[in-house]
Structure 1
Amino acid sequence: MVVKLQRPILVGGLGLSFSLWILQSWHHSIVQVSEFGLFSALAVGGGLWLFRQNRPKNHLEQLDGMVVDRVTAETAIAKTEAVINQLAQETENHPALENLRSQVAQLLLELDRQEIKIGVTGGKSVGKSTLIQVLKSSCDKEILQKVSFQETAPLFREAGEKSDAATLAEVNKTDFVLFLTNGDLTDSEFQTLQQLKAVNQPTTLVFNKHDQYLADERASVLLSLKQRMSGNVVATAASPIPMKVRKHEADGAVQEWMEQPAPDIQQLTQQLSTVLAQQEKQLVWTTTMRKTLALKAEAKNWLNGIRRDRATPVIEQYQWIAAAAAFANPVPALDILATAAINAQMVMDLGNVYQQKFSWEQAQTVAGTMGSLMLKLGLVELSTKAVSTVLKSNAITFVAGGVVQGVSAAYLTRVAGLSLVEYFEQQEVAIDSGTNLNLDKLRQTLQNVFQQNQQMAFLQGFVKQSVKRLLPETQQVEVVK
């Protein structure tokens, strides 16, 4: 196998490795080199043969209950436009560009929207349609001139019907949500309310049909709802149960008839009046913010897809360089020194793809940080055992030790490469130095990537491909059946 090296840093790293090998022939033990080699072995980390394809595509950044003003929304729109411009810069005539730019223009107009959209949602038979009818007939004309009510499809329906995700997507386009329930919250209802809270969707829980409960039961349910929703609950009876009325005449005669009580929605109309009076503009800006973050996520997914296509050959290049260096170097502690240089150079090249600019010193810091994490997580030992397990059942020649080292180096380089890719995809701005890495996020990314690529079928295919790279055809037959 011939590997062409075009990076002076790589040549320097490999040359240093060779020089130290010569020095070791004069000295039986160089403790510092051994320690550095062990640490650097873990920095090899890197990349995957195939990128994970089923990652969530429309992840929304959480606002954590932030009150959104116009400046905040405008800033978010500007950042979204910057992502779209970056996509245009990195790829010509992308099919999504026209639609993305059209949506950005619409968001700017959205900031001045006058109408308030109120979404009415909940499960089946909770009284959504009836409540809307009563609100339209009961609210002040001033309120009705400002708002429009939008009923959604019922949530929590059977499989095959409109999904809850699609319904919630509709809900998130409204400015304020009335979430109806007929009793204490089910787990599904509570989880849905938490999802609305996570994307900063202003919501009021409406305890409808409360008249169907006895007084003590009604109070108990209402208290439970207020505790779970921090008090943001109103009780209504949009269509109260008809009541039997009995009238006793002076002559002793008794008359009975069914009478329909007036709807009980006073608490709700008062709250709507207060919200509209105090937060009308904020509601519009908050909705614009949610739409902006969704558009930004869409644009970033397109951009990350383009970048992943460019990152794949970079990772593949360095995994085979690492394999060759580990397989060819006769001194185990020193072949890792070569792969340390490879790993740092890969950090720089992947950083260039993702607009994360590193100096050589910063790249070394990132490589060292990843190596330290991989050591603590035990990934190097686990990967070596996994590769050895695949090779163990085959007829191994005298070069088997070098094969294990080479394949393990390539495998770890894949893991670290994909970990960097996934980490970079979450970044907003360029990293100023390797010390600014979010270690918790990077640690979790490393664990996830490693676990996803421990399947035996993947390892067997990877080992076979690696052996073909490392050994002549005559020896491949002996190593891999």
Structure 2
Amino acid sequence: MMTAKIQRPILVGGIGLSFLLWLVNSMAHSAAEFGETALVGTIALGAGLWWIQRQFPKTTPALTPKIIDRQTVDHAIAYTGSTIEKLTAEAQQSRLAENFTANIGQFQQQLTQLTSQLERQTLSVGVMGGKSVGKTQLMQGLSANGIGQYSKPLTFVEIPEGQQKPLTDCDAVLFLTGGDVTDPQYQTISQLLLQSHRVILVWNKQDQHSQEEQPVILQRLRETMAGLLEGEDVVAIAASPSPVKVRQHQADGSVKEWMETQQPNILPLTERLSQILKQEQQSLVWATTYRQAKALQAQVKTGLNQVRRERALPIIEQYQWIAAATAFANPVPALDVLATAAINAQLVIDLGGIYQQKFSVEQAQEVAKTIGTQMLKLGFVELTSQTLTSLLKSHTVTFVAGGVVQGVSAAYLTRIAGLSLVEYFQSLEIDEKESGQFSLNINALNQTLKTVFQQNQQLSLLQSFVKQAVNRLSPQIQQKQASQSPAS
């Protein structure tokens, strides 16, 4: 007979008890039918709103990027160091220790470099924008002519479209546009500002518009960016003006024509950039160092999550087989197979311990109940029961034993719950996760449950799991069949 003995306070008096899970009554909704005239009017109105939204990007309230001062940077560096220490300690307790030895050494080296970066004098300016907006020509012009009154070392980095990694090391960003700002561009600039980047919006190729149109377009850009950028941080230039046709009347009455090259006009940009670099140099360096510290934190977190996941998987497997044995021995209705409070609550506590989250018994029970309820509402419990019933029919000998479907289903859903908790913990920001203050976000949990459930729905994975579960339950199945067979 298969037995499971665990020294856990919740399990001692709790195994066999079940939660009462409920389904939320769906509300019936009805929609009024529109007549032909109303329908045409609605389509016209919708088309008009779509056109307006396309022409004028949505504006948002003024952003308030996090102020990065020296204290904030020092805290980020110190916290990164403590995270590296956690990785070092926890990696030594796992089979992945050798894999992380080199990585940990690199992390520590990068951490040391962060402190020295705070005193650097060389600044870096990123130049980004869509295709054919003049990034290369602008960089050449800035490199050749310098930045006004700013005489300290300065480097320019072209940021390929869609790439964010090089931006981490840029102290300021020149965002080029060839005209109106599209909604994706607006959102990109918003994200840059939220990441404490210093941004200047540069309207290049103003020479392609008439003298009368140029100030109108510039003002429209400044109005569009109001709430994100100050007016002086939106400038108009012509990094590589198109040649103009010159016509000259000769003494003999003939007319001579030629194309005359125009000089670049980037003075508005160099003046504003020079002012920013001179006045804000120290804060620019702090902001960049802070981003670098956060980027390093993310790398360390990835390693820490790998180590912790490797520790969590055996625990999940342990509890899934306990759930299988319990549900098989005491079959419950199919829709209540996840309602074994003791097993799931203890699983929450043990996984929380790995991910630096402390739960009381009451909190763990509440989290377990929430996960079970959400899985029921999402239809996972019923779908799992149906799918596993179909797969188990091939096991003709074992299928007839009462409780097999419930046992295998309980194991599978306990596994989904455990894997979802692991993914949820790993998705939390480090500061939030390690604070010990846990707050369950139902929307995020639902999305995690859906993702994990979908990832584990492959037929090969389900068949393998069923095979494992039947093997685990075999001693109990045989004992039950023997007790139910007539005496010879």
What is the TM-score when the length of structure 2 is the normalising length? 0.75
Note if contact 2:243-2:262 (Cα within 8 Å) is conserved in structure 1: yes
Mapping 1:246-285, distance limit 5 Å = 246=247, 258-285=259-286
- The 1:433/1:151 distance shift into structure 2, 3 A limit, reads closer
- The 1:201/1:396 distance shift into structure 2, 3 A limit, reads farther
Mapping 1:87-102, distance limit 5 Å = 87-92=87-92, 94-102=101-109
Q: What does the per-residue CA deviation read over 1:106-155, in whole Å, with 9 as the maximum and x for residues that have no partner?
A: 11111222222112233454333332333345445531325322334x53
**Cα distance, 1:440 vs structure 2:** 3.1
**Cα distance, 1:243 vs structure 2:** 2.8
Greater displacement, 245-254 / 94-103: 245-254
Mapping 1:211-250, distance limit 5 Å = 211-214=207-210, 222=218, 225-226=221-222, 229-230=225-226, 233-246=234-247
Q: Which amino acid aligns with 2:416?
A: V
3-state SS of 1:38 partner: coil
Q: What does the per-residue CA deviation read over 1:413-452, in whole Å, with 9 as the maximum and x for residues that have no partner?
A: 1011111112222253457577x33333223322322232
- The 1:462/1:431 distance shift into structure 2, 3 A limit, reads farther
Q: Kindly, what percent of the aligned residue pairs are identical? A: 50
Q: Which amino acid aligns with 2:9?
A: I
Quote the residue 1:67 is aligned against. 67
Mapping 1:175-186, distance limit 5 Å = 175-184=171-180
**Cα distance, 1:206 vs structure 2:** 2.0
Residue 106 (1) aligns with residue 107 (2): no
Gaps of 5+ in 1: 18-32, 42-62, 156-163
Q: Which amino acid aligns with 2:178?
A: N
Note if contact 2:346-2:364 (Cα within 8 Å) is conserved in structure 1: yes
**Cα distance, 1:207 vs structure 2:** 2.1
Q: Which amino acid aligns with 1:440?
A: N
Residue 209 (1) aligns with residue 205 (2): yes
**Cα distance, 1:75 vs structure 2:** 1.4
**Cα distance, 1:393 vs structure 2:** 6.1
| Aligned length, in residue pairs | 425
Mapping 1:360-399, distance limit 5 Å = 360-392=361-393, 395=396, 399=400
Gaps of 5+ in 2: 24-62, 482-488
Q: Which amino acid aligns with 2:413?
A: L
Note if contact 1:247-1:255 (Cα within 8 Å) is conserved in structure 2: yes
Equivalents in 1 of 2:250, 2:286: separation in Å? 61
Equivalents in 1 of 2:208, 2:188: separation in Å? 24
Q: Which amino acid aligns with 2:122?
A: E
Note if contact 1:122-1:179 (Cα within 8 Å) is conserved in structure 2: yes
Residue 38 (1) aligns with residue 20 (2): yes
Equivalents in 2 of 1:82, 1:474: separation in Å? 50
2:129 to 104, 122, 126: 122
Higher relative contact order (CA 8 A, sep 6+): 1
3-state SS of 2:322 partner: helix
Quote the residue 1:82 is aligned against. 82
Q: Which amino acid aligns with 1:295?
A: L
Equivalents in 1 of 2:434, 2:189: separation in Å? 35
**Cα distance, 1:317 vs structure 2:** 0.6
Note if contact 1:318-1:346 (Cα within 8 Å) is conserved in structure 2: yes
Equivalents in 2 of 1:40, 1:315: separation in Å? 25
**Cα distance, 1:469 vs structure 2:** 1.5
- The 1:128/1:430 distance shift into structure 2, 3 A limit, reads closer
Quote the residue 1:464 is aligned against. 467
Greater displacement, 444-453 / 303-312: 444-453
Equivalents in 2 of 1:338, 1:183: separation in Å? 59
Greater displacement, 293-302 / 240-249: 240-249
Equivalents in 2 of 1:120, 1:337: separation in Å? 54
**Cα distance, 1:223 vs structure 2:** 6.1
- The 1:331/1:266 distance shift into structure 2, 3 A limit, reads closer
Q: What does the per-residue CA deviation read over 1:299-350, in whole Å, with 9 as the maximum and x for residues that have no partner?
A: 01111101111111110011001100100125669x9699321212212221
Equivalents in 2 of 1:116, 1:447: separation in Å? 45
Equivalents in 1 of 2:276, 2:179: separation in Å? 25
Q: Which amino acid aligns with 2:137?
A: T
Equivalents in 2 of 1:267, 1:252: separation in Å? 41
- The 1:410/1:469 distance shift into structure 2, 3 A limit, reads same
Equivalents in 2 of 1:142, 1:79: separation in Å? 38
**Cα distance, 1:183 vs structure 2:** 4.0
Quote the residue 2:413 is aligned against. 412
3-state SS of 1:145 partner: coil
Greater displacement, 221-230 / 195-204: 221-230
Equivalents in 2 of 1:392, 1:296: separation in Å? 49
Q: Which amino acid aligns with 1:75?
A: H
- The 1:330/1:141 distance shift into structure 2, 3 A limit, reads closer
**Cα distance, 1:104 vs structure 2:** 0.8
Equivalents in 1 of 2:223, 2:377: separation in Å? 43
3-state SS of 2:424 partner: helix
Q: What does the per-residue CA deviation read over 1:47-95, in whole Å, with 9 as the maximum and x for residues that have no partner?
A: xxxxxxxxxxxxxxxx973232222122111111111010112123632
**Cα distance, 1:244 vs structure 2:** 3.6
Q: Which amino acid aligns with 1:5?
A: K
- The 1:474/1:411 distance shift into structure 2, 3 A limit, reads closer
Quote the residue 1:454 is aligned against. 457
3-state SS of 1:149 partner: strand
Quote the residue 2:49 is aligned against. none
Equivalents in 2 of 1:367, 1:13: separation in Å? 17
